[in-house]
Amino acid sequence: MSNSTGVSARGKGRAGFGSAFPVAYERARRRAGARRAPLNLLLLPLLYVTETFGAINETFHEWWIRQPGWSRWTVYILLIVGGVLLPSEQVASFMSPETDWATLLFFPIGGYVLLAIGLNVVVGQAGLLDLGYVAFFAIGGYTMAVFGTKYGWSFWEILLVGLVLSALSGVVLGAPTLRLRGDYLAIVTLGFGEIVRITANNTEYIGGPNGIGGIPHPPSLSEWAFPDAFPFNLVGLEGVQPLSYGTLSAHSYYYLMLATIVAVIIFAKRLERSRVGRAWAAVREDEDAAELMGVPTFKFKLAAFAIGAAIGGAVGVVYASQAISIIPNNFPFILSATILAAVVMGGSGNIPGVMVGAFLVAWIPERIRFFGEYRVLIFGAVLVALMVFRPEGILPSRQRKAELEEGTGGMGSMGAEVAGPTADAEAGR
Amino acid sequence: MKATHNVHNFLEQFWPSTVDGLALGSIYALIALGYTMVYGVLRLINFAHSEIFMIGTMAVIGALHALGVSSLYGGLGLVGFVIVLAFLAGLASGASAVVLELVAYRPLRKKGASRLAALISAIGASLFLQQLFARIVIPEAFDLPKEKGALPVQGHFVERDNVIEIGDLVISNDKLIIFVGAILMMVALDQFVNRTRLGRGIRATAQDPETAVLMGVNIDRIVTATFAIGGAMAGVAAALFMLRFEEAKFDVGFLLGIKAFTAAVLGGIGNLRGALAGGLVLGLVEMYGAALFGTQWQHVIAFSVLVLVLMFRPTGILGESLQQARA
């Protein structure tokens, strides 16, 4: 499996940054030429943009895998510093002129990014289609709300409980259903998401449709504030207390989310490279073959479900700790669909990809608020357009991309994909 | 105490629940046909099918407004009128399903894109259509102020009376028309798929697209036909739905669509007769469940039954077999 993809990856590579643009142009032209509709003339610029993006991505990857450890670490540290400085005034004025940028960064942006990383474990790595991921988010949120208001536990204790409870719910959902094939699993998980929401709606103990209010904030860790010195004074972050959780500023919650995201990325990345990750790839590519080779597929699928669920639950706990009150309608099906869209459109299986995807689906509707009531309409159209032009996602994982081209990878291609000469020409590209 | 009350309630409600369940189940079954046929041919969950249904309901309301219907119909007049409405709605829904396929799925299909990508495209198309109707089409078509586009629009045309009364078993004319109409459509479709040339093409493609191409089946035509037929069935379902509920709004298709897809899976996805079986079973289970545990648990019961059935019959009640449909 890794062999065949490795060959194709190396075959394309060895290109410097300079060659990205002509390569992209050539590809865009070929794609447009393959379909003869005159509409394509109009769409050529769009194709050019997406293909350029893809080519830059590939070139960057080529460069990246040849770097020694210290230069990778430099990049990681720069990224984290960038994350810390992200809620600055200058960025806010461009990214979100109409809403509070730090609040936006906490949720939906940070929350979606983390949910997408969690869902990516299930969909991108293990290749299981989960349409009810929001259920685990809800379970995390309600864990925080119930233990925080009724038992007076502190945030850190509840975080642990939330992780365990949501992982358990993943096992409870997975154990009877994971023997089902892909699309059956999709509808069962969708049903599970609805069951959780409606049950919350109907249960008096957790407030029914009114939800739970008065959820406590996390206890402040320290009153320490960013000093009025470089670089904080340049970006308007001086005086922000990153470790004290009040009601006024969303900055500290954003940092809490950021820390969780970094921790989860490290965890997910280590998993991906481990025996578990390889088992998931095998299950995703060909479950029967994996089983025959001695991979206990059911066990690993269940593990993927539990881990994905635990990550979703963690987001729920963090979210509820800021939100003060939650209601069942905070967890609608459309949220599951949005997160799935983020994963697929970012490039399922690739963590930077799904983060970009999640960022876009969270940020675009906020940024285009000036379209007012039409923003969801435009968002829907953008989803279709993105999938039409770049079905493999913005930053696809190379292994997933190769699998998708071969028509393997769990969610293989559509049944009637053999549609004539153009399809063959595309496939041979 | 509560349990006995529930059982008592259930027994009392048994016949009305049965009739309601069969009527609801018939509508589920007709919508499920669209899911199941598209799934059979493309292995794709056509998420935007619920919006195709919504377009059908809007076509019905639009037709009622355009024709200036103010009187209520009953008896045979109602049957004839429903046939006209079903035809119009079927046309509107079928046409929009074909356009949907052309715009949102065909380009992906030609690229050999993953089914996951197609699913996202479907979700995008679904959002787009819902919002298009809520923000633009409904306000324009029914002269509503823009911000009222998300409210339900009405179309009354049914004069209800009870046509069958045997003891507790009371069947009103609308429910009878729904049930009979749905069964007729299912039988017609079953015959169509099993007996005609196009139907054979559909079955061949569902079974093995590559071989079907080699045997001279024009896949693009088959896919278009599948969407057109599935869409038309959703349109008919929409007309029958309007007969019973007389109002619809932009997201009317959402829950119905999920339920219909559940019904398709319950019966065995890709299987036409399975869609009927699944739809009726789901409708009955929901109504009995509502009588037993209260209406607020209706949806939870539906999905729980789905999980239970799939645990014991992982490919649904009748199994998957558009390809092996016997004739």
The reported pLDDT for the residue numbered A373 is 75
Look up residue A195 and give its DSSP letter. H
Mark whether A3 and A23 lie in a shared domain.
Answer: yes
- Closest by CA position to B83, among listed B187, B178, B222: B178
Q: Domain span at residue A202?
A: 71-414
- A391: nearest CB among B114, B220, B303: B114
Residues 200-229 of A with CB under 8 A from B: 201-202
In a domain, B283, yes or no: no
The reported pLDDT for the residue numbered A3 is 41
The answer to whether the CB atoms of A423 and B117 lie below 8 A apart is no
The answer to whether the CB atoms of A384 and B115 lie below 8 A apart is no
Using a CB-CB cut-off of 8 Å, the residues of chain A touching B117 are 344, 387, 391-393
List, in order, residues 6 or more apart from A295 with CB less than 8 Å away.
A279, A282, A283
pLDDT lower than 50: segments of chain B: 1, 325-327
Mean pLDDT for all residues in chain B: 88
Mark whether A143 and A221 lie in a shared domain.
Answer: yes
In a domain, A426, yes or no: no
In a domain, B284, yes or no: no
In a domain, B237, yes or no: yes
Instruction: Render pLDDT for B39-91 as a digit per residue (tens, 0 to 9).
Output: 888 888 898 999 999 999 999 999 998 888 777 887 788 899 999 999 999 99
In a domain, B311, yes or no: no
Beta bridge partners of B172: B162
Mark whether A242 and A316 lie in a shared domain.
Answer: yes
In a domain, A428, yes or no: no
In a domain, B23, yes or no: no
The reported pLDDT for the residue numbered B241 is 95
In a domain, B201, yes or no: yes
The answer to whether the CB atoms of A387 and B124 lie below 8 A apart is yes
In a domain, A420, yes or no: no
Mark whether A22 and A149 lie in a shared domain.
Answer: no
Residues 52-71 of A with CB under 8 A from B: none
Final residue of a structural domain among A29, A44, A66: A66
Mark whether A118 and A262 lie in a shared domain.
Answer: yes
CA-derived radius of gyration, chain A: 22
The reported pLDDT for the residue numbered B321 is 62
Q: Domain span at residue B57?
A: 31-257
In a domain, A427, yes or no: no
The reported pLDDT for the residue numbered B94 is 97
Using a CB-CB cut-off of 8 Å, the residues of chain A touching B314 are 179-181, 184
**Number of domain units in chain A:** 2
Q: Does A371 touch chain B (CB under 8 A)?
A: no
Q: Report the distance separating Cα A213 and Cα A326, nearest Å.
A: 7
- Residue B130 class from Cβ within 10 Å (0-12 exposed, 13-18 middle, 19+ buried)? buried
Mark whether A35 and A113 lie in a shared domain.
Answer: no
The answer to whether the CB atoms of B307 and A188 lie below 8 A apart is yes
Mark whether A40 and A174 lie in a shared domain.
Answer: no
Mark whether A134 and A269 lie in a shared domain.
Answer: yes
**Number of domain units in chain B:** 1
For residue A348, give the CATH number of its domain: 1.10.3470
In a domain, A429, yes or no: no
In the 3-class helix/strand/coil scheme, how is chain B assigned residue by residue?
CHHHHHHHHHHHCHHHHHHHHHHHHHHHHHHHHHHHHHHHHHCCCCCCHHHHHHHHHHHHHHHHHHCCCCCCECHHHHHHHHHHHHHHHHHHHHHHHHHHHHHHHHHHHHCCCEHHHHHHHHHHHHHHHHHHHHHHHHHHHCCCCHHHCCCCEECCCECCCEEEEECCEEEEHHHHHHHHHHHHHHHHHHHHHHHCHHHHHHHHHHHCHHHHHHCCCCHHHHHHHHHHHHHHHHHHHHHHHHHHHCEECCCHHHHHHHHHHHHHHHHCCCCHHHHHHHHHHHHHHHHHHHHHHCHHHHHHHHHHHHHHHHHHCCCCCCCCCCCCCCC
| Residue count of chain A | 429
In a domain, B282, yes or no: no
The answer to whether the CB atoms of A194 and B258 lie below 8 A apart is yes
The reported pLDDT for the residue numbered A228 is 75
The answer to whether the CB atoms of B107 and A186 lie below 8 A apart is no
Mark whether A78 and A52 lie in a shared domain.
Answer: no
Mark whether A278 and A365 lie in a shared domain.
Answer: yes
Lookup: tokens for B26: 């018939």
Mark whether A26 and A174 lie in a shared domain.
Answer: no
- A416: nearest CB among B109, B129, B311: B109
Mark whether A38 and A150 lie in a shared domain.
Answer: no
Lookup: tokens for A405: 């081209």
Which residue in A169, A178, A183 has the most chain B C-beta atoms within 10 A of its own C-beta, making it the best mutation to test that interface? A183
pLDDT one digit per residue (tens) for chain A, 429 residues: 334 433 333 333 333 444 455 555 556 555 555 444 445 555 566 666 667 777 777 777 778 778 788 888 888 888 888 888 888 877 777 777 777 888 888 888 999 999 999 999 999 898 888 989 999 999 999 999 999 999 999 999 999 999 999 999 999 988 888 877 767 788 888 888 989 999 999 998 998 899 999 899 888 887 777 877 777 777 777 777 777 787 777 888 999 999 999 999 999 999 988 999 999 999 888 888 999 999 999 999 999 999 999 999 999 999 999 988 999 999 988 899 889 989 988 888 889 889 999 998 888 888 777 776 787 888 888 888 888 888 777 777 777 667 666 654 444 555 544 333 333 333 333
